[in-house]
Amino acid sequence: MVVVGAGIAGTACAAELLRAGVPVEVRDRARVPGGRMASRRLDDRPVDLGAAYFTVDDPDFAVVVRRWQAAGLAREWTDTFLAYGPDGRREVRGPTRWAAPGGLRSLVAQAAGELPVTLERPVGAVGPGPTVDGHRHRAVALAMPGPQAARLLDPALTEAGRVARGQRFAPVLAVVLRYPARCWPDFHGAFVNDHPVLTLVCDDGDRRGDQASVLVAHTTSDFAAAHLSGPEAAGPAVARATAELLGLTGAAEQVHVHRWTYAKPVAGPRLDGPGYHLDDEGVGLAGDAFSGRPRVQSAWLSGRDLGRALADRLTAVG
């Protein structure tokens, strides 16, 4: 069978299938695995451009995280953020946020390294049968945001197509700001409320643990939507907003903008049972949209559970 998408959900799905003895191939159109847990090397260091961190409260996911930690791939970062709003700034505590010294993509890359993954191989269409680009397979799993899956599925022919089309995602711009030196007060990350441009700013040097003079800002969906056709042009406005928020006197010497058209699930099927979809045709969908929350853990659980359901079905029929 085929898993389309080499992000955290797709690799978790494929790992369960292989564990059950089901032959599987993972395909992705990108050059590297990772999905929305994306990192990019800038000035020879990784910067997280997708998910800012992850949290853990599921015991099964905690086992995976501890393995990452033991291998030096993940580290506990902080349980304390700042929160900016109309009433000023305050400190807020929450669950422990985890980060990755090599970037969050390194966690997916580690999982993908143990799987049969084919990169730079886009899929054009998934149909009943199920078929992938006209070739019949025992089952197909699409581990990606619903709007992307919907482009591969005909909603008139597959139930999965109708489910995927019902999912809605909001866009975000992630903006990397590199400064000549660290010029801000000590902080880990900051939630920004009721702001026209910003929703989150993270100290990437603190997050990564190397104290590099790099911040990463995430924008509001409305601001991102207005700049989807030309995201790089939004960089100066995000840099100004970040400087005003943190009281910075120095200017960023490098600004890099990454566009996420489908960043955060905002609407779609909220299932009371399994956090995935699997129809009678053998077409499955996995991802954080089924929890309604943009969380790494939610995506991993969705992929893992879809993998188990597919393995149960495929091994039962031989």
- Asked whether 12 and 303 are in contact (CB, 8 A), the reply is yes
Dihedral of CA 26/31/32/33: which sign? negative
296-317 vs 59-70: helix crossing angle, rounded to 10: 110
Judged on CB neighbours under 10 Å (0-12, 13-18, 19+), 240 is middle
> What pLDDT shows up at residue 188?
98
Tokens representing residue 262 in the block: 């489908």
At 288, give phi and psi (nearest 5°): -70, -10
Q: Give the pLDDT confidence score for residue 32 in this predicted structure.
A: 95
DSSP secondary structure code for residue 5 in this structure: -
How confident is the model at residue 250, as a pLDDT? 87
Q: What pLDDT score was predicted for residue 42?
A: 87
Answer yes or no: are the C-beta atoms of 234 and 176 closer than 8 Å.
no
153 DSSP assignment: B
User: What pLDDT is recorded for position 108?
Assistant: 97
Q: What is the pLDDT of residue 294?
A: 81
Give how far Cα 194 sits from Cα of 40, 181, 225, Å.
Answer: 29, 29, 17
* Domains identified in the chain and CATH numbers: 1-40+105-167+268-318 (3.50.50.60), 52-103+169-267 (3.90.660.10)
What's the pLDDT tens digit per position in 211-227? 999 999 999 999 999 99
Residue ranges for the chain with pLDDT beneath 50 = none
Q: Which two tokens stand for residue 218?
A: 């995430």
pLDDT in tens, 33-51: 999 999 988 888 999 999 9
74-108 burial, b for 16+ CB within 10 Å, e for fewer? beebbeebbebeeeeeeeeeeeebbbbebbbbbbb
The answer to whether 307 touches 12, Cβ cutoff 8 Å, is: yes
Neighbours of 122 (CB within 10 A): 11
pTM score, whole prediction: 0.95
Please, what's the b/e burial string for 169-195 (b: 16 or more CB within 10 A of its CB; e: otherwise)? Answer: bbbbbbbbbbbeebbbeebbbbbbeeb
